[in-house]
Structure 1
């Protein structure tokens, strides 16, 4: 499975933990979170502490970590090893790939993406944050806000992550200084405000010693807020897409193969895929995008069960009253509020390739299950991480965040990312190699029509 298939959906996590996470909790109790921060800010240690103190670590896992720590000459378990699973990560003591973990408390279930901090792995941070309800951003209390902090806040802002929690970590190394914490809190809030991050929380932590991770610390009397776990249990989950108009990206057309055992199955035709947003009920009228054909929903199937209604987050099969020409890559949408398929798009992109992006580059644009050819007709600028302004640019380099214009070979039903993360997100892919070049967020003016 390529990055292109995993960056937009947690369905790409091919582990038993993720399968259990998606099956077990109710949508209202599930929270998806991602960690971010600079190198050596303590992300993996914080995640390990969170898992350990919340009693979410199996005995054999802890025993393995304790043995590795002992072999390294450490006197206690290195909790970072609970998430640094790759051999290269353990050897170097850094996080390289996104490590997904599932854990639960009495109040909530979590899917956690532990993202790397190195600048060269910013693409992995974009992957981990793309479906997150919360980004936990670590700042080393000794260093304060640095360029990578600004970059990760910018990524969170562009990806419209609903909540950002900033852990001012290693507070023990500055003698639990209230002045240091207050200063960093002010810096974070200023940068967040300039980037348009709507909701940000800060708290002083020591992942190594456990201060304010699961239990309140008596060594930070200046902080009276919740612990990290307490805050994560209280924050609302991501259910905004349920309240938007219905969209289903068709992944497969289901027809009986071979001789059907009954006339009902012989005539069966269903359109399977994930409900990206909204709700659909039997009897609803839907439109097929981009063709424009219309029909009525006569059945909704989930495995062997017939449903009266399906909503965002479920993968179902829709049956229609009419035999329309529908194939993989098309979208079923509610008639009311259906987007106009567009052939010209403006967008913000996080450039993730070592090869620079230049005007007139030819790429593939992937939106849901639809992939079309596209050309970059212009680069309008890139974000300057020093003063957070957009400056002119002739090209975009690795990890740049920029604004571009695209011309599409076929119309795509993109929505404005500011109003819908599901309908406004897309990928740019190298047509020859199939590698992911950029994560894109569409900017659709209110009066935009088909181009």
Structure 2
């Protein structure tokens, strides 16, 4: 029995040691720092091949994946190499067929020292928007250059975008050195050329290295083919470079509130991801934009309370006082808060196939804040080849420009150079919900700080009570000649006879005064409706029932006006007259001129009309008389009052 005990004991000890080693290994792996980086550059510079090589060399490919990869490599006819590493990343069928990257591909791998998420960004100019998406969360950019081709247009574009987005760590990877016989002079010439360009756009420092993704030179091990290169390998550099989160931890607290956490009556906290700084119980904080102050009582996580939380952690913060705080607010250091404003200069990267509409209202999403915003005509667009500032009336796909923007209420922000979270935003089309632009706030405009709302003693409720009516906007829309003005006039006459206080804004009349400076381009039409919408809102503040008769061809602008008014005060009335009937009437002779080319941008002929999808009233003037239509609208309005 003693012998048996003696024999078994070492086994237990070994098992304990193995368990301890596994626990230690898992603990070390769990607490490794994370680096997010992108690969970018021009078409066929070897971005996907490089990432495939990193995944392969870091043993992040399963046996079945490797077998499938070898099989796919044979199908695409890879010559002189058993594995086409690019196929590890190019997952779309179209990418494999064309040998290019279209979408952004994210891959995870790790080494002994660090964990990585890499985004393989497409090189084609038409996919620049995909590259911006990948770069938006990156700490480092690997900009590849084909050693045979040198610095190209897309190299410059991607470098400028990386700098614009705020990526501080740039690696210039001169790839395919094996195809130029590892010539030192070729490498030096490319680095010199890139250095001149980099300095012109504000990139002061970058790390240049000669590599071959195909052969593996200077990727994970120093290559004997480049004895003249004394710098680090790519993996060595990725493992040791400083990540953004470590810098953010030293900044003042910025915690955008994502959710008010109230599971029961005994708990109320404010949840979100700490963008910068740290927070602990006892800290004095300020909630923006209200400016209310309090003291942190608890920092709560699913695993229990924390003594301190830092940038990059998701937490719930509780206050000692019951102050108002909701989604979109920002919890900040009390004595060093961010600003709040509603007018800014911003840099925009346009990501949509349709050009930007000056004056149109878009959704702006910044952190957890979502507001309505209008964009003015760009001050200039940037030529990424020459860095020239060029005049422009709008922004087209992939254009980079600077413009002034105005939000419908003050938002909490910091310049993008100081904070990606509170300085970077996206623009969303209100109708399609498509993301149309990425933006970076440069600074708030001085007038945003100098102009304030004046508190008035007599408000809209008092004005409406004096007139004994509910304010409303009856928005008549339809083609030219549809009968908008005719029906609107009849409605106003009937309301006036009933003792209601009204005012009719007619499209032609407004263009004689308020909007006499506007033409009929798409941008001018948008501005025309924006101004009329603001006037209509002011008139409802005075307690009036406002009738407007405008073609107002675009849904986005009609929805913009709806958004200016309280719920239930905007009635969209669609005067639905077929184009053939409106053209047959042609009282003003406008259709005839448009057909002959004398009148440009005419709605229904060479400019679109977007019919309402869910109008409050639809009037078919081919079946309903103007009198019947007017009675229907009056009954609807009075029935809702």
Q: TM-score, normalised by structure 2?
A: 0.63
Number of the residue aligned with 1:250: 257
Instruction: Pick one of 100, 105, 109 that aligns with 1:103.
Output: 109
Offset, 1:271: 0.9
Number of the residue aligned with 1:61: 65
Aligned residues of 2:46 and 2:144 also touching (Cα < 8 A)? yes
Distance 2:320 2:171 in 1: 47
Number of the residue aligned with 1:131: 137
- Does 1:43 find its partner at 2:47? yes
Aligned residues of 1:356 and 1:395 also touching (Cα < 8 A)? yes
Instruction: Pick one of 121, 131, 141 that aligns with 2:127.
Output: 121
- Does 1:305 find its partner at 2:312? no
Distance 1:434 1:296 in 2: 39
Which has the higher Rg, Structure 1 or Structure 2?
Answer: 2
Aligned residues of 2:46 and 2:175 also touching (Cα < 8 A)? yes
**Residue 387 of structure 1 aligns to a residue in which SS?**
coil
Instruction: Pick one of 220, 242, 247 that aligns with 1:240.
Output: 247
- Does 1:188 find its partner at 2:187? no
Number of the residue aligned with 2:440: 441
Number of the residue aligned with 1:270: 269
Instruction: Pick one of 173, 178, 181 that aligns with 1:172.
Output: 178
More deviation, 358-367/301-310: 358-367
Alignment map for 1:389-404 (pairs within 5 Å): 389-404=388-403
Aligned residues of 2:341 and 2:444 also touching (Cα < 8 A)? no
Distance 2:90 2:29 in 1: 25
- Does 1:206 find its partner at 2:212? yes
**Residue 370 of structure 2 aligns to a residue in which SS?**
strand
Alignment map for 1:212-227 (pairs within 5 Å): 212-227=218-233
Offset, 1:358: 4.2
Aligned residues of 1:340 and 1:449 also touching (Cα < 8 A)? no
Distance 2:447 2:198 in 1: 29
**Residue 150 of structure 1 aligns to a residue in which SS?**
helix
Distance 1:448 1:170 in 2: 53
| Residue deviations 1:242-276 (CA, integer Å, cap 9, x gap) | 111111111111112xxxxxxxx532111111111
- Does 1:145 find its partner at 2:144? no
Distance 1:355 1:447 in 2: 31
Offset, 1:24: 5.6
Number of the residue aligned with 1:18: none
**Residue 373 of structure 1 aligns to a residue in which SS?**
strand
| Residue deviations 1:143-171 (CA, integer Å, cap 9, x gap) | 11111011001111111101010111111
* Residue ranges of structure 2 left out of the alignment (5+ in a row): 1-25, 452-641
Sort the Cα spacing of 1:435 and 1:24 in 2 relative to 1 into closer, same or farther, 3 A. farther
Offset, 1:118: 1.2
Distance 1:272 1:417 in 2: 23
**Residue 249 of structure 2 aligns to a residue in which SS?**
helix
Distance 1:316 1:330 in 2: 15
Offset, 1:138: 0.6
Number of the residue aligned with 2:340: 341
Distance 1:383 1:366 in 2: 24
Sort the Cα spacing of 1:31 and 1:25 in 2 relative to 1 into closer, same or farther, 3 A. farther
Distance 2:447 2:272 in 1: 28
Number of the residue aligned with 1:432: 431
**Residue 70 of structure 2 aligns to a residue in which SS?**
helix
**Greater helix share, 1 or 2?**
2
Offset, 1:324: 2.5
Sort the Cα spacing of 1:448 and 1:336 in 2 relative to 1 into closer, same or farther, 3 A. farther
Aligned residues of 1:283 and 1:296 also touching (Cα < 8 A)? yes
| Residue deviations 1:165-214 (CA, integer Å, cap 9, x gap) | 01111112222222211111011111111111132111111111111111
Say what the alpha-carbon RMSD is for the aligned residues.
Answer: 2.0
Number of the residue aligned with 2:294: 295
Aligned residues of 1:286 and 1:294 also touching (Cα < 8 A)? yes
Report the count of equivalent residues: 421
- Does 1:410 find its partner at 2:409? yes
Aligned residues of 1:25 and 1:109 also touching (Cα < 8 A)? no
**Greater strand share, 1 or 2?**
1
Greater length-normalized contact order (CA 8 Å, ≥ 6 residues apart): 1
**Residue 319 of structure 1 aligns to a residue in which SS?**
strand
Distance 2:193 2:441 in 1: 29
* Residue ranges of structure 1 left out of the alignment (5+ in a row): 1-20, 257-264
Offset, 1:379: 0.9
| Residue deviations 1:214-241 (CA, integer Å, cap 9, x gap) | 1212222232211111111121111221
Aligned residues of 2:377 and 2:394 also touching (Cα < 8 A)? no
**Residue 41 of structure 1 aligns to a residue in which SS?**
coil
Instruction: Pick one of 83, 86, 94 that aligns with 1:88.
Output: 94
Distance 1:178 1:384 in 2: 32
More deviation, 229-238/401-410: 229-238
Distance 1:361 1:174 in 2: 52
Offset, 1:449: 6.6
**Residue 277 of structure 1 aligns to a residue in which SS?**
coil
Aligned residues of 2:270 and 2:317 also touching (Cα < 8 A)? yes
Aligned residues of 1:329 and 1:370 also touching (Cα < 8 A)? yes
Number of the residue aligned with 1:11: none
Offset, 1:369: 0.9
